[in-house]
Each structure stands twice: as C-alpha cells, then as structure tokens.
Structure 1
Amino acid sequence: MDNKRAKEIVSSPVMVNVTYDGIPVYIDSVNEGNNTAKIHFLNQPDSKQEVSITNLVEH
C-alpha cells in the first residue's frame, strides 16, 4: 500500500478490508513523514502499533 491510499482509507466512511501480516486491521492514522501508519487489530482494539505502510495489504 502507499501513503495516498492509506490516507484515503482513513478518511473513508466505508470499512475497507486491510491486513497486516495476514491479520485484519483498522488504520487509525497515517504519518506521511515516516511512511508509517498507526493500526490496531480488529480483534484487539486496545493494542495499537505503528507499522510501515508498505506492509499493509488491501483486499
């Protein structure tokens, strides 16, 4: 995934199917300067982490 698409997903009112290491995630925010995104796993909403946007996959 790239920064532009990640930002579109964050601002979209529609839930988009995105995975990180094959696990469904929600993108909370995008940091363009670092090319990273803050995410949380759908089954663990309290466990947030910052990951490289290139490791996110849209399905």
Structure 2
Amino acid sequence: MDANRVKQILSSSAEITVNYHDVPIWINSLNEDEQTAIVQTIDNRKLGEETTVKIDELKEV
C-alpha cells in the first residue's frame, strides 16, 4: 500500500478492511516521512496494542 491510499483510508468514513500479514488491523496514523503507520489489530471488534509497521506491508482486502 502507498502513503496516498493510507491517507484516503484514514479520512474515509467507510469501514475499509486492511490486513497486516493476513491479520485485520485498524490504521491509527501515518508517518509519511518514514513510510510507516501506527496500527492496532482487530480481534472480534476489540483493538489490540499499537505497533508501528511499514506501509508497504499493508494490504487492502
């Protein structure tokens, strides 16, 4: 995924499914300079701990 798509997802009111290594996640924020995002796993609608990941490892489902 690229930074522009992450920005679109963050600003969208729609629920867009994104996976990180086949795990559904919620994107909290984007660091465009470092090409990373802060994400949380979604586990039965509960959010897990935040982690920083490279945005090119995110996949829109």
TM-score bin, normalised by smaller chain: over 0.9
Equivalent residues in 2 for 1:1-59 (5 A)?
1-43=1-43, 45-59=47-61
Q: Could you list the runs of 4 or more consecutive aligned residues of structure 1 that deviate by over 4 angstroms after TM superposition?
A: none
**Structure 2-normalised TM-score?**
0.91
Matches of 2:18 and 2:34, distance apart in 1: 20
Matches of 2:5 and 2:48, distance apart in 1: 24
Root-mean-square deviation (Å): 1.0
Deviation at 1:20, TM superposition (A): 0.2
Give ranges in structure 2 of 5+ residues lacking alignment.
Answer: none
Give ranges in structure 1 of 5+ residues lacking alignment.
Answer: none
Give the fraction of aligned pairs with identical amino acids, expressed as a percent.
34
**Structure 1-normalised TM-score?**
0.94
The number of equivalent residue pairs is: 59
- Preserved CA contact (<8 Å) 2:10 2:29: yes
